[in-house]
Amino acid sequence: MKNKYKLGSWILTYNPAGTDVMSKSGFDWICIDLEHSSITFQELDNLLSILEKNKVESFVRVSSNNKSEIKKALDLGARGIIVPMVNTGNEAQKALRYASYPPRGERGFAIAKAQGYGYGLKNYEKISKKIKVVVQIETIQGINNLEQILKVKGLYSTFVGPMDLSGSIGKPGDYKNKKFLNALKKYEQLSKKNKISMGIHVAYPNVNEVKSFIKKGYKFIAMGTDMTLLGNACLDSIKKIKK
């Protein structure tokens, strides 16, 4: 990844109008979440079309490191895949193989939407080589195995899930806990040592918090979700009016 950070956000609900507004707001990328949402593949198809129309880089977080699900998301036109709960180098390698065509990987060839239903195969051949694979580091096991994960060639970035990481040490949501801070520090040190882009999700949009991660060298940052951005705007406006 280039030195410049990329700021994105997260879609948790099937709301085409909301996705349209968010993807015109200046985000570098948008991720549609299949892990913690009820979004179907048919709905994913529609949301990806909106992101493509608005020329925003599209990522899909799949529900697991699942070959079939990764293949379907890419065949619908996603330009990047985010894989949750990656805890070992072997799991990171699997994610890359599932997202790549042979001989590099195991992804099955198709003539689906991404390939223009067979009429855009030559163009998609170039696109497929630039598919971005991001693995989420969400447990203390992932932190402990980070060195081997970071040595897997071809990763676009890694991405910390703060809530799950804090939960894995028995302190969910306690981001000031010493064990959590030490785990994050180890993540940052090893990522910089291995020259692999760092990523994180600031789930409740906080400009100062996002800026602090940018200063630390994080390059792949998600700010908020469709729901927390809406919720914060509502709470802030009502608070100001009633004040």
pLDDT tens digits along 153-197: 999 999 999 999 999 999 999 999 999 999 999 999 999 999 999
Residues 6+ apart with CB under 8 A from 172: 163, 166
pLDDT for residue 144: 98
pLDDT for residue 243: 84
The answer to whether 202 and 175 are in contact (CB under 8 A) is no
DSSP state of 27: -
Go through the chain and tell me how many residues it has. Answer: 243
**DSSP-H helix ranges across 29-88:** 41-53, 67-75
Residue with tokens 């990844």: 1
Q: Is the peptide bond before 103 cis (omega within 30 degrees of 0)?
A: yes
Q: How many helices (H) and strands (E) does the chain have?
A: 11, 8
pLDDT for residue 3: 63
Return the structure tokens found at 87.
């805890």
pLDDT for residue 96: 98
Report field, pTM of the whole predicted structure over 0.85: yes
Reduced to 3 states (helix: H, G, I; strand: E, B; else coil), residue 124 is helix
Q: Cα–Cα–Cα angle for 58, 112, 36, nearest 5°?
A: 45
Which structural domains are found in the chain, ordered by start? Answer: 6-242 (3.20.20.60)
pLDDT for residue 42: 98
CA distances, 143 to each of 161, 171, 215 (Å): 11, 16, 21
Return the structure tokens found at 164.
């799950």
Give the residue ranges of the chain where pLDDT is below 70. Answer: 1-3
Q: Up-side HSE of residue 11: CA atoms within 13 Å toward CB? A: 31
